[in-house]
Amino acid sequence: MDPVIGIDLGTTYSAVATLDSGRPLLIPSRAGARLTPSVVGFTAMGERVVGERAQILGDEAPDRVAPATKRFIGKRWSQGLEKAARAVVPYPVLSGPQGEVRIRVAGRVMPLTQVSAMLLGELKLDAEAHFGRPVSKAVITVPANFDEGQRQATREAARIAGLEVLRLLNEPTAAAMAYGLVNSFQGRALVFDLGGGTFDVSVLEMENGVYEVKATGGDPQLGGDDFDARIVQWLVAQVPDLHREAVMKDRVSMQRLRYAAERAKRTLSDQVEAFISVGELGDHQEGAPERYCQLDTALTRDFFQTLAEPLTTRCIDVCRSVLDEAKLTPGDIEAVMLVGGMTRMPLVRQLVTQLFGRQPVTGVNPDEAVALGAAVHAAELVSRQGQTLLIDVATHTMSVGVLGGTVRKLIARNSPVPATARETFLPGRTGQTQARIPVFQGESEFADECTKLGEVVLTDINVVNRAEVPIEVTFELSNEGTLSVRAVDTTTGMAEAIRIEARTTLSTTEVDSLSQEQAAYSQQQAEKDKVLAISTFPRVLDKAERLVRLLEKSAEENPSPEADSAVGQVKALLAQGRVAVKLGDTAQMAEVTRLLERLVALT
């Protein structure tokens, strides 16, 4: 069977995993790390760097890297968005031809789906190096509160990266699947997922492999970056008056402060005080080093908790409201699962423990749970063995715009998906020949406070009398949150349908050309990886030979059928490995390496 993977495309870190002999397994990056920073950059020579190398480049040259782009993916550009972006990211956000967000990094203007595609492409290459062969099928996770546009953009990024999306899966649901499998947990669970840019909460019932989401909610504008921004504000207030304005206007200085703030925040998860030292603060446009200043200060955990209190309070409020929607109380929850790097903050753990009266469950790394769960689901989708069943809910209310600027709700938030709803509407005015049915997503009663997803237009209708032309509108929401809308003129049977899903942010031509660019890059990298795999494999065989000698010796000293079998297994792998070398078969080499690692872990 072709390998399949689960990808957690996070705001700050991403991860890729697979199912290995029934257990979810995180695939390390080719650089050997478990997580890949979600950062893309370009060196002064124009070379693309992704992940850790981009993060390192960002320390030196913040204007050459693009971190946290997931914050803006699938959104429309607005002045408000631009202003908000200034507070959290080092790059300018611009409007593309369709009003979509693009960014300028290292002098190039890029669509955000291209940036995400570069990250996905890197994870795909990591998985391919792990398996020694191409990988094209993936489950990709998204925050539960991602709307249609954001989900669509994620799919577009996958297309550019050459990945077939088996399904987009909500992050908290994915995490619950990983915790459920690893801890063999059954019962009612709450997933508290505080990442770099978003906050999601889901309540699930987990029973015999059935994962039923009861309610989900969150805050799409609340994440670790906001905690960093609070520290940055406090740091800026300490910059000497003479320099403060220049520092605040300078993107490079602000990014330096952001990096320092993030590091201090992490330190404060383990220690009670963090020392912060940031140099070269000033106007980098003018480039006047003699006017730069230096900031040295210390932040205590207590004071950071005071700075962060409005944010942690918001997290707890969201938990309460999701519990209300699920008609449950904190006491009804039997397991609290923490996901996302920010849940390492002691205050967050403390508040969660207080609210639920129990310690969060352990057993799965909060940074890895989402990717591991995505891998579990990906394996289920291709094998269809029926070991797990997922019943998810609509994460937003879907409505039709009606007269008076209000909306009529057809599918309510937290209804189980897939869902179908049908309602009959009477078009506006007598004499009208066209009916427009606008479709909205959002929780407000008012259309202008919801997001418009699109509209269905029925032409050639003849309204002599309003009551005579009833139009039946049907909404179908798929199990991954994609909406299709159909409208029928019930007098003539004429129908129009839109698949809201069909909306893409970029033109097909641009998507095609970006896909080609990405494919060419991936091919080059894959060839380099192949050469590397072939040149390093002899070391694996050396190790296997040493292992055979060791096992033979111990079998001589303590003879047993098990000892003989261990020797036989390693010898067989060794033989398989030698054949792989002869054939230059990297898939075989990868398989031998994996099996050997597993044997070593067992012995």
Binding site for ligand AMP (CB under 6 A): 10-13, 195-196, 224-225, 262, 265-266, 269, 340-342, 344-345, 367
Least Å from the CB of residue 494 to ligand AMP: 48
171 catalytically annotated: yes
Of the candidates 8, 226, 529, 585, the residue annotated as catalytic is 8
Cα separations (Å) of 103 from 12, 63, 131, 274? 17, 11, 34, 33
State yes or no: is 214 an active-site residue: no
What CA–CA distances, in Å, run from 510 to 70, 113, 515?
Answer: 20, 11, 8
Whether 63 sits among the annotated catalytic residues: the reply is: no
Query: What tokens appear for 459 in the block?
Result: 């032409």
**Separation CA 435–CA 603 (nearest Å):** 71
- Least distance in angstroms from the C-beta of 171 to ligand AMP: 9
Q: Residue 261 or 453: which CB sits closer to ligand AMP?
A: 261
Q: Which residue is nearest to ligand AMP (CB)?
A: 224
The four Cα atoms 587, 592, 32, 193 give a dihedral, to 10 degrees, of: 80
Shortest distance, position 91 Cβ to ligand AMP, whole Å: 18
Residue 324, amino acid: D
CB of 400 to ligand AMP, least distance (A): 35
Q: Report the alpha-carbon distance of residue 244 to residue 295 in Å, rounded.
A: 11
Nearest-10 Cα torsion for 221, 94, 41, 168: 50
Of the two residues 340 and 427, which places its CB atom closer to ligand AMP in the complex? 340
Contact call for residues 471 and 435 (beta carbons, < 8 A): yes
200's enclosing H/E stretch is strand 199-207
Strand partners, 487: 473, 496
Q: How far apart are CA 223 and CA 206, in angstroms?
A: 27
∠ CA 455-461-467, nearest 5°, is 95
Q: Which two tokens stand for residue 363?
A: 């057993």
Query: From the CA atom positions of the chain, what is the Rg in Å?
Result: 27
Least Å from the CB of residue 227 to ligand AMP: 7
From residue 557, alpha-carbon distances to 181, 478, 552 in Å are 39, 62, 9
Nearer to ligand AMP, 225 or 591 (CB): 225
Choose the catalytic residue: 122, 148, 171, 380: 171
Give me the phi and psi of 262, to 5 degrees please: -65, -40
Hunting for tokens 């705001």 — which residue is that?
11
Smallest separation, CB 345 to ligand AMP (Å): 5
Q: Which is nearer to ligand AMP, 28 or 209 (CB)?
A: 28
Give min distance, CB of 366 to ligand AMP, in A.
Answer: 7
Distance in Å, CB of 555 to ligand AMP, minimum: 45
What are the angstrom distances between the C-alpha of 475 and each of 52, 215, 401, 440, 481?
A: 44, 20, 13, 11, 12
Tally of helices (H runs) and strands (E runs) in the chain: 14, 27
Does 126 qualify as catalytic in the annotation? no
Catalytic residue among 126, 156, 193, 489: 193
Angle in degrees, 0-180, between the axes of helices 561-583 and 508-557, rounded to the nearest 10: 140
Residue 66 neighbours by CB under 8 Å, 6+ apart: 39, 40, 41, 89, 91, 103, 105, 110, 115
- How far is CA 100 from its chain centroid? 19
Measured from the CB atom, the residue of 159 and 230 that comes closer to ligand AMP is 230
Give the up-direction half-sphere exposure of residue 66: CA atoms within 13 A in the CB hemisphere. Answer: 31
Q: How far is the CB of 92 from ligand AMP (least distance, A)?
A: 22
* Maximum CA extent, the chain: 98
* Residue with Cβ nearer ligand AMP (37 or 132): 37
| 396 token code pair | 């937003």
Token pair, residue 34, equals 């478990």
Non-local (6+) Cβ contacts of 123 within 8 A are 5, 7, 9, 14, 15, 16, 36
Q: Where are the beta strands (DSSP E) in 12-74?
A: 13-20, 23-26, 36-37, 39-42, 48-50, 65-67
Considering the complex, what minimum distance in angstroms separates the CB of residue 12 from ligand AMP? 4
User: In the complex, what is the shortest distance from the CB of residue 10 to ligand AMP, in angstroms, rounded to a whole number?
Assistant: 4
**Which residue lies nearer to ligand AMP by CB, 90 or 132?**
90
DSSP 463-503: -SSGGG--EEEEEEE-TTS-EEEEEEETTT--EEEEEGGG-
Cα dihedral 215/220/224/228 (nearest 10): -150
What residues pair up with 293 in beta bridges, in sequence order? 281
Catalytic residue among 63, 70, 200, 262: 70
Q: Which residues are catalytic?
A: 8, 70, 171, 193
